[in-house]
Chains A and B, each alone.
Chain A
Amino acid sequence: MTALLIRGGHLIDPAAGVDGLKDILLKDGRVAEIAGPGKLKQANGAAGPDVQVIDATGLTIAPGLIDMHVHLREPGQGYKETIATGTAAAAAGGFTSVAAMPNTRPVNDSPEITRWMQAPERGASIRVFPIAAATRGSKGEAINDFAALKSAGAVAVSDDGLPILKDAVMRETLAAAARVGLSVIQHAEDTRMTQGASMNAGPIAFRLGLRGWPNEAESSIVERDIRLVQELRDSRAHLHVAHISTAVALAAVRQARRNGLRVTCEVAPHHFLLSEEHVGLYNTNAKMCPPLRASADRDAMIEAIFDGVVDAIATDHAPHAVHEKEVEFENAPNGITGLETALGLSLRWLHKEGKLPLGRILSLLSAQPAALLNLKGRGTLAAGSFADVVIFDPKAEWTYNARATRSKSRNTPFDGWAMQGKVRWTISEGRIAYADE
């Protein structure tokens, strides 16, 4: 394998505590060496005909981004997305790893499907880490064999899209996952309170004549799950709350953390940037689950990102075909795409507007999700780590055009939005997965 030398850029590697001008040598899929400008040792192979040089002058170099919550739709729904197209979109967005949710057709509840998703034949541009279903068929009844799923490559368990409602099943899931060292990711929605709901409960839902999704449907499950983690505290059970969206659920997570429990959470860009008002006049690209919330909840997400209660920014990338979203609002499927817009939105709004340091944002998009999923050698560019790198122009401003997406789908409310920070190269295990033309 040829070596890659990235020269002249500004390396930000929060996990390694690096923030300065560095040259980086990538070899055999790993980070071979990092040194000050022009200081790489020739003996390490930093020169020669088989060294490809990337001039990163004026650019930021960071550990490749990690999205711990995506839907790649394979197996079973290749018309929405394939592993190849979804990871191509991910690479364009600066991601080098994605964790793929198991609500495929069939549900990924077996080592066979877990391995199938990672097979080279899928044509992934970057690394795909399957999250396996917690229960058989994600029906919330019988728990899967977590040890077998883990050895097949699963990095966590979840019934995402559906909650595990039964207390006994959730408790057993947390305990069994802890025994094999996996996290449990919960889609917190008490579906008994959300029958027929298609947007956030409140005055806007009333005015639009839509049935509402109350905050309690999320917070009651989060509170129940935290209680179970408390009861299991000796087992080191880890609960991760997916796509948290309400201030009241965040408060529960905050309190659980103060009590020393292993409870973490992620927030999606649409939940810290948009509110229920963006549903407008039945815009189906503003329909997702959990729904866009009241602006007070949106503000609480931002606050929790700043004060560190949020552990990761995750997109919940959920592609749907155009015809599926061109229907009555109540009949439209939930979800929006997000892989190509997460970095640009985070830099535009959290960094430029909110003054959150670049390193904090990169950590939320890389080092922290790597730690949550226990992805060894990722989320950092320390020597010996995987050569997963994103190189971007932090000052570049651009406009997102959904029609130019690499995803198969373009169901996004961020079409035409201003972005900050343009990805120039994405390198996955030493191989260029994306290069900006």
Chain B
Amino acid sequence: MNPSATPTRRQIHPPPALVSPFPYHPGSLLSASDLTLAEISHILTRATILENQDPLTRDRILAKRRVALLFYESSTRTRTSFELAAKGLGADTTLVSSLSSSIEKGETLKDTGLTLRALGAEAIILRHNSSGAAWLLESETRLPVLNAGDGMHEHPTQALLDLRTILAHLRPGMHTVTAEILTGVTVAIVGDILHSRVARSNMLLLPRLGARVLLCGPKELLPELAAKAGPGIEIERDFDAALRQSQVVMMLRIQAERLAGLQLDLEEYKANYQLTGPRLAAQAPEAIVMHPGPIIRGLEVTAGVADGPQSVILEQVRNGVAIRMAVVERALTATQQGGHA
């Protein structure tokens, strides 16, 4: 703008935006950034205790409590592990998915949530294709809501199970996290960052524990402004350079269902960003390789890497059950423990 056209800058400071429009239920888990370090430590500790507990005593913890799984998108890992987690604690679960319910007939998220509450659901685990859906469901039902993935936004339990996996390899035996526990650790998140809720939850969580997050991908899938999402986040577009700096490599799937008309040259993508055996051996022979799934073998990773010795992909899946037991337990017992309401 022409500087001569701006005589005196007028400063007006209207009220800032409210940080949160309503008090969360203390059992809810909507965003990875909602958790204090103490709460993260508690979840990690409980995950290990619950995982090792005798299943016959464990299932008394939430005996006959009611948990609803409300899924607007397909899911294998998240749905099954939440279900196994809730059942492992003795809770009754019910699954409502968009293709076999009144959602197909046009029922809104609000009405579906209120209906589940009226049916006795004490907590709702929500997977939804719209960013922010979990906030809407919580504000309308006031039930504990566990965000199992909202659009392109967040997937907090994935970030927690990824953290558990990272700690198991880099900080074995540690369950109490601090702001320095991952100091010196660089985590590369590679691929379709733009459309990834896993990337967002991890890039908000890991820097709070001291880790450095390197985002890596082409401009179409990784806009420059991603580095401004929070502290401790940098962009490195050269995959080899990113690998050389990283102890943890998190590979992401290209989310074809969210590309919204974006055209990608897949051959070029593979040439630049596919994690192959030789590339891994040359640039990061010590790093662990993670992937939230589903994997598209031969696209973002080769089969050899997915099945190789550096891959911890199935460990992540296993950790999902333990983490989700702790999170479901927290959802239904948070008031007794004195949550953050």
Contact A209 B18, CB 8 Å, known A282-B132, A329-B130: no
Query: What class of interface size applies to chain B in its complex with A?
Result: 35 or more
A125 to chain B, nearest CB (A): 30
- Contact in complex: A328, B16 (CB < 8 Å): no
Chain A contact residue count (CB 8 A cutoff): 44
A interface footprint on B145-174 (CB within 8 Å = 1, 0 otherwise): 000001111100000000000000000000
Contact A329 B10, CB 8 Å, known A207-B229, A209-B150: no
A35 at the B interface (CB under 8 A) = no
A300 to B6, CA, bound (A): 9
Residues of B within 8 A of A203 (CB): 225, 228-229
A216 at the B interface (CB under 8 A) = no
A388 to B136, CA, bound (A): 44
A79 at the B interface (CB under 8 A) = no
Contact A209 B108, CB 8 Å, known A203-B228, A328-B132: no
A282: contacting residue among B12, B16, B136, B200, CB under 8 A? B136
A350 to B14, CA, bound (A): 10
Contact A247 B17, CB 8 Å, known A209-B152, A328-B128: no
B56 at the A interface (CB under 8 A) = no
- Contact in complex: B135, A210 (CB < 8 Å): no
B193 to chain A, nearest CB (A): 9
- Contact in complex: B12, A209 (CB < 8 Å): no
B87 to chain A, nearest CB (A): 29
- Contact in complex: A209, B110 (CB < 8 Å): no
Secondary structure at chain B's binding surface: helix, strand, loop or mixed?
A: loop
Contact A207 B15, CB 8 Å, known A326-B140, A327-B136, A329-B130: no
- Contact in complex: B131, A329 (CB < 8 Å): yes
A394 to B230, CA, bound (A): 44
Contact A327 B110, CB 8 Å, known A202-B225, A299-B9: yes
CB closest residue in chain A, given B72:
A328
Contact A327 B109, CB 8 Å, known A206-B225, A207-B229, A251-B1: yes
B interface footprint on A307-351 (CB within 8 Å = 1, 0 otherwise): 100000000000000010011111100000000000000000110
Residues of B within 8 A of A349 (CB): 12, 14
Among A207, A254, A299, which residue has the most Cβ atoms of chain B within 10 A?
A207
A127 at the B interface (CB under 8 A) = no
CB closest residue in chain B, given A352:
B12
A362 at the B interface (CB under 8 A) = no
Residues of B within 8 A of A277 (CB): 16-17
B20 at the A interface (CB under 8 A) = yes
A245 to B213, CA, bound (A): 34
- Contact in complex: B229, A209 (CB < 8 Å): no
Residues of B within 8 A of A195 (CB): 260-261
A200 to chain B, nearest CB (A): 12
B324 to chain A, nearest CB (A): 21
A247 to B9, CA, bound (A): 14
Contact A208 B260, CB 8 Å, known A203-B229, A283-B21, A327-B109: no
Contact A326 B108, CB 8 Å, known A277-B16, A281-B21, A303-B9: yes
- Contact in complex: B260, A330 (CB < 8 Å): no
Residues of B within 8 A of A280 (CB): 17-21
Q: Which residues of A contact B (CB under 8 A)?
A: 195-196, 202-203, 206-211, 247, 250-251, 254-255, 272-274, 277-283, 286, 299-300, 302-303, 306-307, 323, 326-331, 349-350, 353-354, 417
B208 at the A interface (CB under 8 A) = no
Contact A208 B131, CB 8 Å, known A195-B260, A354-B12: yes
Residues of A within 8 A of B14 (CB): 273-274, 349
- Contact in complex: B260, A282 (CB < 8 Å): no
- Contact in complex: A330, B131 (CB < 8 Å): yes
A203 to B200, CA, bound (A): 12
**10 shortest interchain CB distances as A-B pairs:** A209-B153, A282-B132, A209-B152, A209-B131, A328-B130, A203-B228, A278-B17, A273-B14, A251-B1, A277-B17
B160 to chain A, nearest CB (A): 18
Within 267-291 of B, Cβ neighbours of A (below 8 Å) are at none
8 residue pairs bridging A and B, Cβ less than 8 Å apart:
A255-B2, A282-B135, A303-B9, A306-B8, A307-B7, A328-B128, A328-B136, A354-B12
A283 to B136, CA, bound (A): 9
Residues of B within 8 A of A354 (CB): 10, 12
B109: contacting residue among A207, A272, A328, A417, CB under 8 A? A328
Contact A326 B225, CB 8 Å, known A208-B153, A282-B131, A349-B14: no
B70 at the A interface (CB under 8 A) = no
A283 to B20, CA, bound (A): 10
